[in-house]
A and B are shown apart, each in its own frame.
Chain A
Amino acid sequence: MNKIFGRCYSLKEIKHSYCPGCGHGIIHRLVAEVIDELDIREKTIGIAPVGCAVFAYYYWNFDVTEASHGRPPAVATGIKRCLPDKVVFTYQGDGDLAAIGTAEIIHAANRGENITTIFVNNATYGMTGGQMAPTTILGQKTATTPFGRDAKREGHPIRVCELLSSLDGACYLERVSVSNPKNVLKAKKAIKKAFENQLNNRGFSLVEVLSQCPTDWQMTPVESVKWVDEVLSKTFPLGVVKSQIKEHE
């Protein structure tokens, strides 16, 4: 009998610690599948963030390091510049990338660092208990926006792909989600593209993944995926925001 589905080699056989219904587990799996399919496991170096994905390095079955809060793009720059023929990617949450690490991601993208960034946007700080993130949408209640995010008080949600799209060094920016099987497949395609770009020396690629955090949103897993589709993706429209990859390439 042909085996058509199984654990991917780039993920270790370890139970992960994410909450039921969390998007991180799916996104880890997609990254691992892509790494397997591109056969790059043995030359990949991943950078795990702080935040809920901090233990990603227990789950991935390739070389991994950590970075302090917000600094994965700088760590990735150091690695990739020293080892240009390895595949280097960062995995970052929205608190990590769009708050404390805004400078690092903008400048890594602007330098056109030939790296890949997986940016998990769950509209909240997951690990520290559901506080407001730069991506928290207007009206959304969090641990630190108990009255709902108010633009006058807390400013507006930051759209990272759009923000980065003006930078000449950014080659590919796409927003996807993992809220339903169709979107998951699209997300995988985008992640694959982002890694292929690196293999083809095209510069900086980022895939923003809208991801559910049922725990901190105080929803059931089913409600949370519905919320991604019906509410979150209104503020963060899915699709390619920038692609400088010429068709014939």
Chain B
Amino acid sequence: MKSNKILMKGNIAVCEGAIAAGCDAYFGYPITPQNEIPAYMSKKMVELKRVFIQSESELAAINMVFGAAACGKRAMTSSSSPGISLKQEGISYLCGAELPCVIVNVQRGGPGLGNISGSQGDYFQSTKGGGHGDYRLIVLAPYSVKEMYDLTYLAFDLADKYRNPALILSDGIVGQMMEPVEINTDIRDKRLEIKKDWALGGCKGREPRLIRSLIMEEGGLEKHNWHLKEKYDEIKKNETRCETELVDDAEIAIVAFGISARICKSAVKKLRQQNVKVGLVRPVTLWPFPEKIISDISKKVKKFLVVEMNLGQMVEDVRLSVNGACPVEFLGKPGGGIFNEEEIIQKVKDIL
């Protein structure tokens, strides 16, 4: 395998991952802390003779994605929390119309204009809806620059495979941090090729096609919703991704995603050196959520500790998965603040 090790920023890794995955079109609107993405794409996409547009708003960007996706192209947009809020209507339509695309959220502190430092306050919005109606997004949570690359690449394949939008839920810290990334230069060959026999492109030689989310026929929408449910069940079955570390003999299992998990990882290491039996569960897909893995672990550990940079959002999913089998403690930091290892170590000792 040909590969290339390059030092790059998380946000640039998203772009490189998208380009490697064959992203045909990017549409976006500036917002900190993801501005490197549209800036980088404005150069790279044009050089590659692919489509780049700086749209007039997030509303326009997500609807341009809708158009590009409707003609079977691999389309992407990126934004940060307030901008993602504006995209919610479009995301609901994309889900209703079953159009694949990739949406990147480099989260910042909220609610409202909040601040521009990294946060994990959009967990609910990403995994529980955010737009109207019954729908699910495939939500991937990178915790390193390498994963910004890999998961963005993967997101395009998953989106196409299931005809569903996939969301990269990152944050300002992972977006801005720099790490060496190994880029597979022959990765394009491995791209999942899926026949899009639903895409628009003019009806030459076939019956006209229609892409819509409006279904007014008697019982039609209910049927469509059940069909979506079946698809979501299939995604749950096949695509749950989760990393566990040192959980086999652990008394306390920390559950964290994204940048929080990165910090917890080194806290776990230090605690182990002090002979504290602690392990780490890191959901890589926030939806589908690794319910079964957490449920299984709940039968072995004394306690869970959920660590996230918000007021307690994923902790609800952990509690549902644990279903009373053991206590679930919570350590949170809202408003764009970041943990240090010591806080986590102290909390583990407190609840031991």
Interface residue ranges, A against B (CB under 8 Å): 41-45, 47-48, 54, 57, 60-68, 71, 74-83, 86-87, 103-104, 106-107, 111
- Confirm or deny: B250 has a beta carbon within 8 angstroms of a beta carbon on chain A: no
Q: List residues of B whose CB falls within 8 A of some A CB.
A: 24-25, 27, 51, 53, 55-57, 59-61, 63-71, 73, 75, 89-90, 93, 97, 200-205, 208-214
**Most chain-B CB neighbours within 10 Å: which of A57, A78, A83?**
A78
Query: Are the C-beta atoms of A63 and B60 separated by less than 8 Å?
Result: no
With a cutoff of 8 Å between Cβ atoms, the chain A residues found around residue B202 in the complex are: 42-45, 62-63, 83, 86-87
Shortest Cβ gap from A32 to chain B (Å): 12
User: Is B89 in contact with A81, judged by CB distance below 8 angstroms?
Assistant: no
Q: Give the residue of B51, B56, B64 whose beta carbon is less than 8 angstroms from that of A75.
A: B64
A68 CB contact (under 8 Å) in B69, B75, B93: B93
List of B residues within 8 angstroms of A82 by Cβ = 24-25, 51, 67-68, 71, 73, 75
Verify B210–A57 contact, CB threshold 8 A: yes
Bound CA span A73–B60, Å:
8
User: Given the complex, which residues of B lie within 8 Å of A61, measured CB to CB?
Assistant: 208
Evaluate contact between B60 and A66: CB separation under 8 angstroms.
no
CA A77 to CA B52, docked complex, whole Å:
11
Q: Which residue of B lies closest to A48 (CB)?
A: B212
User: Smallest CB-CB separation from B67: which chain A residue?
Assistant: A78
Which chain A residue lies CB-closest to B51? A81
Contact A74 B211 (CB under 8 A): no
A81 surroundings in chain B (CB, below 8 A): 25, 51, 53, 64, 68
Say how far B21's CB is from chain A's closest CB, in angstroms: 16
Cβ-defined contact, B25 with A78, below 8 A: yes
Known: A62-B203, A65-B212, A74-B55. A83 touches B71 (CB 8 A): yes
Task: Check B51–A103 contact: CB distance below 8 A.
Answer: no
Nearest A residue to B56 by beta-carbon distance? Answer: A107
CB-based nearest B residue for A43: B202
Q: How far is the CA of A57 from the CA of B203 in the complex (A)?
A: 14
Q: Which residues of A contact B203 (CB under 8 A)?
A: 41-42, 62-63
Please indicate the chain B residues that have their CB under 8 angstroms from the CB of A80 in the complex. Answer: 67
- In the complex the two chains form, is A104's CB within 8 Å of B60's CB? yes
A54 touches B214 (CB 8 A): yes
CB nearest to B68 among chain A residues? A78
Q: List 10 A-B contacts (CB under 8 A).
A: A54-B214, A63-B209, A65-B67, A65-B200, A68-B90, A78-B64, A78-B66, A83-B201, A103-B59, A104-B60
CA distance A60 to B209 in the complex (A): 10
The residue of chain A having its C-beta at the shortest distance from the C-beta of B199 within the complex is A63
Contact: A63 with B68, CB < 8 Å? Answer: no
Are B214 and A74 in contact (CB-based, < 8 A)?
no
Q: How far is the CB of B23 from chain A (nearest CB, A)?
A: 12
Nearest B residue to A104 via CB reads B60
B216: nearest residue on chain A (CB-CB)? A55
* In the complex, chain A residues whose CB is within 8 Å of the CB of B60: 71, 74, 77, 103-104, 107
A68 x B63 contact (CB < 8 A)? yes
Supposing A43-B202, A45-B71, A65-B200 touch, asked if A104 and B66 sit within 8 A by C-beta, the answer is no
Given A79-B67, A81-B25, A43:B204 Cβ within 8 A:
yes
Verify A65–B63 contact, CB threshold 8 A.
Answer: no
Most central of B57, B69, B210 by chain A CB within 10 Å: B210
Q: Are A78 and B70 in contact (CB under 8 A)?
A: yes
